[in-house]
Amino acid sequence: QVVADVLPQQKSEVVKEYQARNMTVVMVGDGINDAPALVQADVGVALGTGTDVAMESAGITLVRGDLRGVLTALQVSRSTLGTIKQNLFWAFFYNVALIPVAAGVLYPVFQGLGGVPAGLSFFFGELGFLNPVMAAAAMAFSSVTVVGNSLRLRGRKLTA
């Protein structure tokens, strides 16, 4: 819902009313009279062409004075949050899967087989514990995967 043509002294009150109804409030403003409402809002957006007071009161400042930047900021925020969730999933999966291997969970398996198979001895050594060099390489690969996933944000086309 968009509310416009509100008197300066009423802006902060309108924001509080919507927040009292458990609504997330985004306030867009550019003047000194918008500063209290920008601070009160859940997300304050100031136009870069506005006053310094408004820009310092807001959480987001749109460099250009174009309101379409609000939609772009929303898209960037959603994409970034999605990427953060993907990266956390990857890190969690990696740690849950490989920390037990590094700790030697496969040791009994390899002992039951009569030792580590020849093709896997480079990864697990003679006793079945993960080779520290391989563990370091796997950790580096995990970091590169997370960074690479994050870099996908740079190529994302935004529509606004």
CATH of the domain at 47: 3.40.50.1000
23 falls within a domain: yes
* Model pTM score: 0.71
Task: Determine the average pLDDT of the residues in 58-76.
Answer: 88
160 falls within a domain: no
Counted domains in the chain? 2
pLDDT tens column, 20-45: 999 999 999 998 999 999 999 999 99
Are both 55 and 109 inside the same structural domain?
Answer: no
* 28 vs 158 pLDDT, higher one: 28
**Rounded distance, CA 40 to CA 37, Å?**
5
Provide long-range contacts, Cβ within 8 A and 24+ apart, for 61-70.
65/30, 67/28, 68/160, 69/160, 70/26, 70/28, 70/45
Range of the domain at 97: 75-155
Are both 106 and 149 inside the same structural domain?
Answer: yes
